[in-house]
Structures are given as structure tokens and as C-alpha cells.
Structure 1
Amino acid sequence: MGCLVSTPKDTGGNRRRPGSIGEVSVYVPGLRIPKPVDFSQSLSGHVSKTLVERLTAMRTRIVVMAGQEALTITRTRRKTTTQHGRSTLADLHQALEDYLPVLLGLVSDGSQLQFKVQFIWVNQEDDAEETAMFNAWYEVLSVLHLMAVLSLSQANLLLLPRTSADFYQPKASEESRRGSIDIFLKAAGYLDCAVRHVLPRLPSELRRNLPVDLAEGVLRALCLQALGQGVDIQLGMAIDSTKATLAVKRRLACEMVKYWQQAQDNLMNLPLSNGWGEKHRHFVKWKYVEAKAAAYYYHGLILDEGNTEKSHGMAVAALQAADEYFEESKKACEVFNAAHPLSRNPPLWGTMKYLSEKIPKDTSSKVRINRDLYSHEKNMGTPPTLPDFALALKPNEYQLPPVDPSWNENVQLGHIGTNEVKRG
């Protein structure tokens, strides 16, 4: 059990650290790419030849597909379908789902087989090149992480705005927005399962030696930001709806603040010193500040509905805070895009397109009205506290699949060594 560091020539040529990752609506971490392992040598005498061959074939397919996808994952304008019309992301995702039930036979009922195979993964993000560990739960964790990253990549592609039919302005379709929420919840579910059901299975020493992109704080942050971006889409849809009240919009904006704040808290003490890690931190900060601009804007509009000088003054303070946070968010966005690997912002649409026009205009108007109404200029001081709402959006519940039935046949054949592997 442990880690090893290899040289670049050992990575098989699939590794590529892009200098530019195109347009970003959703932050997508660099891929963790599996490297070939020798199941036959590790499991000989413990597992039937048929099962060894199946494990080898399934994982080899993933190795090849992930290596190819790593070269194109960040090219946001690339062709995303194979000759059969299926998304390459979907194909790789399906291969991972097919592999999990077979892989889980190695850990069923605490089998010692989980320590027989050395699983090796390359991290596209950092300079450590390879991490190798003799623990099948590490492989399960890496698979779930890759499934989540592929989902975030798919959401990013869905949310990159396209020119509308009337050529008025770029935007994402209603179908794409609704679809992205489902994808965010699935991604959050994979990550939540990894944190709650897989990490606790790893020995404490191994957990300390995990690469930083599999650290609990990073997994939790990715889960929370998936939920935060899901709420962002919900807010944009509420803005477009004539039936959504100010109270509904404020609640969504305030919930979004909490998701991004918690994501930022989870990253705070992690050693994200490489370019991708710092870029991740910049993305969370940008979205956190952006969310506060939206929350203070809607909070200010609701406070302004009061009929007292105090409520009007608090409204102006909230709107001024919204304006300041919006300006700060624009700077944070520039810092994020300038961080390695370079990226660019897609054209404004949805929530921020609307708020970029409304926040400066309404703030200026309310300050002027307040000044005229009370005949003197007041220093509004600190903005009022935002309301505290319970978080409504939750990860989809994802459960590890049952062990593949082929392991039952392996037990019957008696090729399992001293510890029997039973169906989980």
C-alpha cells in the first residue's frame, strides 16, 4: 500500500496538460486517468481465468477511452459524438458504470482480494504523475470521481450559450438548463457517495496519502459547487418566469450563497498549490462573490417594499453591497480566467446577464430616491444580514451497485483462496 511517483516517459504518452481550456461555465477538474494493471499476475490462483479476463477487458477499455478523452475534454467546441452518434463522454461514463459491479467483487465482505492488485492512476492536474495503491477501494473512489468529472463536463457543454434563432443574443436553451440541473444532482450524488461510503473504507494511512484531488475537502467542495450551480440555473429560470415572486428569487440567491460559502470553506486549508488547484479556488471565490451580489440585490428589493425610513435605508445599504459585490465578481472572474490553464468566459446570459443590467441601475435609482425622500444623504453603513434559509437542493442518492453475479460463479468454482467473495 502506498504511492509512487513516475517520470513523464512512464505515462504512455496520454498525458497532456493543456495551456488553455476554452470557455468555462462549469469548473471541470483535470481528469484522473487509469493506467494498465496486470490482474492475471495479482489474482492468479484466487480468481477464475474468466473473471480475470473480464476485469482486464473492462478496465483496458476505460484506460483507452479515458486517455483519448483527456486530450479533448477541455475543447469546448469539439465534436462530442462518435460515429454511432453517442457522446464520447456518455460512452466512457457507461464503461465506468459497467466496470463498478465487477470491481466491487474484490472488496465484497471485506475480502483480502482488495489488497492484491496495485491500481495506478495518472492525475492530469498535478506534477506527481502517477499514484499507485494496493487497495481496490482506492479504485472505486477514483471511478466515482471520474464519473462526477465527466458529468460536470457534460453540464459545461450544455450550458455554453449558443446563438438563438432570432440572433438576438447567445443563450442556453430551456431544455439544456433543465437537463444541466439533473446532471449537477447526479454529479453531486457520485461525490456524496464517495465521501460517505467509500472514503471511510480506506485505512487512515492510505487516506493521508491520497492525491489532493481525492481529498475529502475537494470532493465535498465539488459536490457543493455542483449544487450551487444547480441553484444558479434555478434562479435564472425564476427570473424568466412571470410567476416567480421576489421572495422566491431571494431565497434561491441566499441558498446559492451558502452552497458556495461551504465549498470555499472546504478548500480553505488544502494544499492546492498547483495551477489547477489554484484555478479551482479562484472559481469558487468568483461564484461565491457573484452569489452574494444576487442575494443582496433581491434582499434589497424586498426591504425597499417597507414604508419606513429604516427599511428604505437598509434597502439602499443592501443594494449598494450588491453593486460592490458585482464589481468584485467581475475582477474575480478575470483572475480565474487568467489563472493556468487559461480560460475565457462565455457571453453573459441568464442570471448574470439580467443582474449585470439591473444591479447598477436599481442601486443608483434607489439611492437617489432615498436621498430625495429624506432630504439628506445618509451613510448606510454595513449591509443588513442576509436571511438564513435551509438548503433545499440535495444530491441524488447514489448507491454502489450490487456485486456482479459472475462472482457467484467464481465462488462455486473454488478459485477464491482463503477468503470467499460473496455477492454484496
Structure 2
Amino acid sequence: MGCFASTPKDTGGNRRKPTSIGEVSVYVPGLRIPRPVEFSQAVGDQLPKTLVERLTALRTRIVVMANQEGPTITRTRRKTQHGSTLSDLHQALVDYLPVLLELTKDGSHLQFKVHFIWVNQEDEEEETAMSNIWYEVLSVLHLMAMLQMSQANLLLLPRGFSDGHNHPKVSEENRRASIDVFLKAAGYLECAVKNVLPQFSAEQRRSLPVDLAEGVLRALCLQALGQGVDIQLGMAIDSSKATLAVKRRLACEMVKYWQQAQDNLMNLPLANGWGEKHRLFVKWKYVEAKAAAYYYHGLILDEGNTEKSHGMAVAALQAADECFKESKKASEAFNASSPTSRTPPLFGTMKYLTEKIPKDTSSKVRINRDLYSYEKIMETAPTLPDFALALKPDEYQLPLVEST
């Protein structure tokens, strides 16, 4: 029941991997693409003809839309060359899911009748197939989440010009909208981990492509939350009402999300381009988050009235500066990895910190250099405060299957 079959990567190039994916604010490791399915042959007359026709029509629509641009949908375009949008494909998946779950009704044996095939992106295997409805549900939820992440990337690519200056910007409206999109993506992924993965046996879970491994799903969920907090921090920086304590808390939350994302990817076999690039993206954002957290921690410590607090402030700011320099190298490594990418014009958190960290670090070190030697400062380097994670995924439940 529910056996897997994998097809090795085809050197003939069935999996069209682009050489470049353009500007990336939100990295999406590649969209898993469904292959056609013959529902009528699989279930015969065991389901009402109208239900089989509906399943076939809904899934065929998804296959056609998802394959318009090959195994990936270019994330810097709102529309594909055939005119469909990310939201159109997302809606098609939303429409398909409750009908698909009809095959699980009352533990029906039909959930093991249909052979579902999907093209993988992060896994070394070209395709993975399974005669198990839960494999299809998991794949649908993953694609729904990736489409939301792709939409967030579009929202966060600076567009146009503002205030008469030749500097593209990301509008506040787009920033706020992106947070909602990130939370929705995180909700799909959390549902996949909590409600769908438990439907598989331990052996079946080990056979899942790495794209659908629990560690990848959790890492993507944490990535969505981390990027959502990043937007919140950028908006706090722009607000005159946000205190240093608020900004430090948000930065420390961001560190924890990215650290946990990195931990979830650590031992996974992400050997190909998409997977390794995903790992590099998480590393980059983790170091970037640490730069922000140390910077605001240093500013708060500098408000103290003791020689020790000033010394610790200098240590924190120097740690911020080192993380900032490391983040630039990590960004370069991410963009250079295949498929290549570009960092869009800075906005929000990193635009501000790119200007402030080097300047403030240099200033504080110069003022306090007579108080502490560099070695002594680094000996007293403060640890970041531990805050509870605040941003939570939107709650998403699988559609209910009505009993008959």
C-alpha cells in the first residue's frame, strides 16, 4: 500500500533548471510540479462519474498551469507567458484539495489506488511517485506554500521611484501585505507537518523526496516567520514610536527563527543546486539577523552609566559589525550559487543597518578605546537576550470531508 517509485535525474534535461532566477528578496527552492494522472483508469466505477470528472478537470488545470514555465515559475514575473498568475494557480489548488480528500472518506481503500507523480526540485531524483492520497495532499500543501512565498518575493522587490529620487522602494502597503502572505505560507507548512506527515509510516517518510522532508518543511515555515519579523523590524525602524527595546526584541526573534531554520536543514542531503542555494540563503539571513540583534543590543547597553556597560556596548557593536561583514560574504555566495540570482536594492532593516552599523561601531570604539583594549572588550562580549518567539503561522486546517 502506498509504495514509492523514484526516477533518477534525466541528463536529457526534463527538469529545466534556469541559469538565473533574477532578483531575490524571498528565496523559493523551486516549485514541485505535478505530472498528469488518470483518475478514471485508477478508480474505475468505484466512484461516481461526476466526482471522477471533477477530480480530473481540477487536476488537469493545475498540471497545465504549473507546467507553463517548466519545473519553476519565474519569481520576478507576476504573470507567466500564457497569462496565468500565481494566485490563479493557488486558487486552483484550493479548489482541488477538498475534492481530493473525498478519496480518504471513511478510510476508503481508494486512497491507495491512484498513482501520483511529482517532479522534485531539491532532491537528486527527477520524479517521485506514490500510490497514496496523502502524498498528493502533502505535495499540494507544499506547492500552495511555495506560491505564497513566490508572491511575497514579488511584493518585496522594490519598484518605481519615490520622492523624486532615483531609488526604487517597497511600499508600506506591500510590506504589510507580505507579512500576511508569509503567515499564510507558514500555516500551510505547519499543517503539512502536524496533520499530513503523521499519515505516513516511518518507512514511507524516509522515502519521501527531500523537498517534502520534515526538516525542509519546518525550515521553510521558520523562514517565512523570520522574513515576516524582518518586515516588522523594518517598519519599527521607520516608526518614531518604536523603542530600542522593541527593535531589539524583534531582531532577537528573527535570530531565533533563522537559527532554527538552519538547524532543520543541517543534516539533510541538499546536494543539488536548489537545495544548496536554499541552505546558503538561510545562512545569509541568519548572520544578517545576528548583525541587527547585536546592533540594537549594543545601543541599549550604551545607555548604561557604568564603564562596564560601555565596554559591553562596544563589544556588541563590534560583533554586529563582524556579522554585517560576514553577511555580505554570505549574500555573495548565495547569489553566485547556481541558479545565479541578484540582491535587489536594499530597503527596510538592511538599508538602515548598512548605513548605521559601520558608522556607529567606529564611533563607539573610538570614544571607548581608552576604557578597554580590544581583547578585553571581546572577553566581555555580551550574549543576546532570549525572547519568546511571537509571530505565529496562520492556523490552517485541511478541508472537512462530509460523510454520506
TM-score range, shorter-chain basis? Answer: over 0.9
Aligned match of 1:293 in 272, 291, 304?
291
Counterpart position of 1:120: 117
Structure 1 CA distance, aligned partners of 2:318 and 2:188? 39
Q: Which residue of 2 aligns with 1:110?
A: 107
Q: Deviations over 1:251-281 (max 9, x none)?
A: 0000000000000000011111111111000
Q: What SS class does the counterpart of residue 343 from structure 1 fall into?
A: strand
Indicate if the aligned counterparts of 1:2 and 1:209 stay in contact, CA closer than 8 A: no
Relative to 1, partners in 2 of residues 1:368 and 1:123: Cα closer, same or farther, differing over 3 Å? same
1:261 aligned residue: 259
**Which AA in structure 1 matches 2:110?**
L
AA partner of residue 351 (structure 1): T
| Letter paired with 1:179 | A
Cα distance in 2, alignment partners of residues 149 and 196 from structure 1 = 18
Tell me which amino acid in the other structure corresponds to 1:214.
L
Aligned to 1:30: 30
Contact kept in structure 2, 1:31 and 1:125, CA below 8 Å: no
Distance, in Å, in 2 between the alignment partners of 1:375 and 1:261 is 31
Provide the C-alpha distance between the structure 1 equivalents of 2:294 and 2:8, rounded to a whole number of angstroms. Answer: 50
Measured in 1, the distance between the counterparts of 2:249 and 2:141 equals 31
Size of the aligned set, in residue pairs, is: 401
In the alignment, structure 2 segments of 5+ residues that lack a partner are none
Is residue 4 of structure 1 aligned with residue 5 of structure 2?
A: yes
Aligned positions of 1:299-318 closer than 5 A: 299-318=297-316
In 2, the alpha carbon distance for the partners of 1:62 and 1:38 equals 14
SS in structure 1 of the partner of residue 146 of structure 2: helix
Match of 2:51 in 1: 51
Match of 1:94 in 2: 91
- The one of the two structures with greater contact order (alpha-carbon pairs below 8 A, sep at least 6) is 1
1:69 Cα deviation from its structure 2 partner: 4.3
8 Å contact from structure 1 (residues 289, 328) kept in 2: yes
Identity %: 77
**CA contact 2:298–2:312 (8 Å) conserved in 1:** yes
State whether residues 68 and 82 of structure 2, in contact with CA within 8 Å, keep that contact through their aligned partners in structure 1. Answer: no
Distance 1:44 1:71 in 2: 30
CA spacing shift, 1:63–1:366, aligned 2, 3 Å: same
1:48 positional shift: 1.2
Q: How many Å apart are 1:7 and its aligned residue?
A: 6.8
Using the size of structure 2 for normalisation, the TM-score is 0.95
2:192 matched residue in structure 1? 194
Q: Structure 1: any 5+ residue segments left out of the alignment?
A: 406-421
Cα 1:250–1:9, aligned 2, differ >3 Å: closer, same or farther?
A: closer
- For residues 366-423 of structure 1, give each alpha carbon's deviation from its aligned partner in whole angstroms, at most 9, with x where no partner exists: 1111125x487663024201000000000000011122x6xxxxxxxxxxxxxxxx36
Residue in 2 that maps onto 1:418 = none
CA contact (8 A) 2:121 2:211 kept: no
State the shift of 1:170 in Å.
Answer: 1.7
With structure 1 as the length reference, what TM-score do the two structures score? Answer: 0.90
Q: Greater shift after overlay, 120-129 or 333-342?
A: 120-129
RMSD value, Cα: 2.0
Report SS of the residue matched to 2:118. Answer: strand
Give the AA of the match of 1:57: A
The answer to whether 1:232 aligns with 2:233 is: no
**Cα offset, 1:15, TM superposition:** 3.9
Match of 1:218 among 213, 216, 219: 216
